[in-house]
Amino acid sequence: MVDNISDTAAAPTSPGAGTWTHGRTGVWFIGARGSVATTATIGIHALAAELVPPTGCTTTSAAFAGVPLPAFADLVIGGHDISTSPLTKKAEALADAGMIPPRIVSAVQDGLVATEAELRPAYDQRTSTTSQRAEIDRLAADITDFKTRHGLARVIVVDIASTEPILADAPEFHDRELLEAALADPARTVLPASSLTALAAITAGSPFVSFTPSPGLNLPVLIELATEAGLPFAGQDGKTGETLLRSVLAPMFTARGMKVLSWAGTNLLGGGDGATLADPEAVRSKLASKNRGLHDLLGDDVVTPLHIDNVPDLGDVKTAWDHVHAEGFLSSRMTLQTTWSGYDSALAAPLIIDLARLMALAHAAGTSGPVAELAFFFKDPWGSDVHGFADQTTILTDWAHRTGRQL
């Protein structure tokens, strides 16, 4: 890791972005003390101070020139987390792991301390002693209070907490009254944490981004409530590595008329996410989310074995191996292998910053419901069945310009 702070200090952080006159934006992280949120927090402070270039961000590229988006310096960070471990300690660990240059972490110490003051206890099912309704109200109040204290135009809630297991359906997920009754009952825990959090965001009038495969806002009753409240929301499961690669490569085979027979994948990762996904139940939702796009792009006949292994010694480095077997002209066979290796949090963090800026745009423009045009960022995009990356790229930039003109 070469430190290029000095080389790039003068780089404009948002080249050619349009003027934004719609107030300051709050970014509220669910899982605010995790690796991804800490990396995003360090990044926002460093970008605001123009200490680093916005490498890895999409919304600062020439394709977004003229689109009005909040400046990095106008983003204010807060969040919920179950953990109480200090943000500065987590930041040090990321520097020790070789992911972030130590001097960047040092340079944003004040920012980290300021963000620390904005973090609040998350909902924790294991320790909660009240009804879920009371928890929702408490979380919503945290967000509203944050918004008021800082005079923010809006607060974008981004869920980057640990992946939850696949959720069995329930009548309460389809009926507001049934849901409210269950929420009011202290003896029941009808919503998983991610959905409870999404409902708190809706209650606080916040746009919601689901960067994990957890259920989150993706329950019929919550979709209805968010849409009625005139809120935009987007998900699901950030497309940071292997799936990104697949969404680029699969359309190549299609365009060239090759028939993909199998696409096998193995993911090795440590860190918190590795440990979470070591749970066979939690991993099922992740695997389902990862394979959906592949089948959509290549057909249901493709054989797609897929594994996620917890390898603690790899820390935050994620390594994915894919093996593609395809048939070409006159039944001839070909294979493609890819090995992608990178720091999971560093791949995710800039996407989250992009999403916060774009959701601010969507909200300012009065967009309501799932923002399908953000499929570019997700493994399993809400409201969209476009999985090819090039198509997603075009759709995203067209939408950004179109929406920007509505402001």
Say how many residues touch a second copy, by CB under 8 A. Answer: 83
Candidate residues 205, 229, 321, 368; the one interacting with a second copy per rule CB under 8 A: 321
80 or 379: CB nearest a second copy: 379
46 or 182: CB nearest a second copy: 46
Angle between helices 193-203 and 220-228 (to 10 degrees): 10
By CB under 8 A, tell whether 202 contacts a second copy. no
Candidate residues 4, 109, 125, 406; the one interacting with a second copy per rule CB under 8 A: 4
Cα–Cα separations (whole angstroms), residue 388 to 313, 359, 376: 33, 22, 9
Give dist(CA 397, CA 384) in Å, integer.
16
Q: How far is the CB of 358 from a second copy (least distance, A)?
A: 14
Ranges within 79-138 binding a second copy (CB under 8 A): 96-102, 104
Candidate residues 30, 37, 46, 234; the one interacting with a second copy per rule CB under 8 A: 46
95 or 167: CB nearest a second copy: 95
**Interaction mask 15-44, a second copy, x per CB under 8 A:** ------------------------x--xx-
Q: How far apart are the first and last CA of the chain?
A: 41
Cβ contacts of 380 within 8 Å, gap of 6 or more: 213, 235, 236, 237, 289, 292, 293
By CB under 8 A, tell whether 350 contacts a second copy. yes
DSSP, collapsed to helix, strand or coil, labels residue 210 as: strand
- For 58, other C-beta atoms within 10 Å of its C-beta total 21
Residue identified by tokens 């075009």 is 394
Preceding omega of 132 cis (within 30 degrees of 0): no
Q: How far is the CB of 62 from a second copy (least distance, A)?
A: 10
- DSSP label at 120? E
Tokens representing residue 108 in the block: 């944003």
Ranges within 53-82 binding a second copy (CB under 8 A): 54-58, 60-61, 63
Residue 213's identity, in one-letter code, is P
47: phi then psi, degrees, rounded to nearest 5: -70, -40
Q: Which stretch binds a second copy (CB under 8 A): 13-21, 203-211, 248-256, 364-372?
A: 248-256
Candidate residues 11, 71, 107, 314; the one interacting with a second copy per rule CB under 8 A: 314
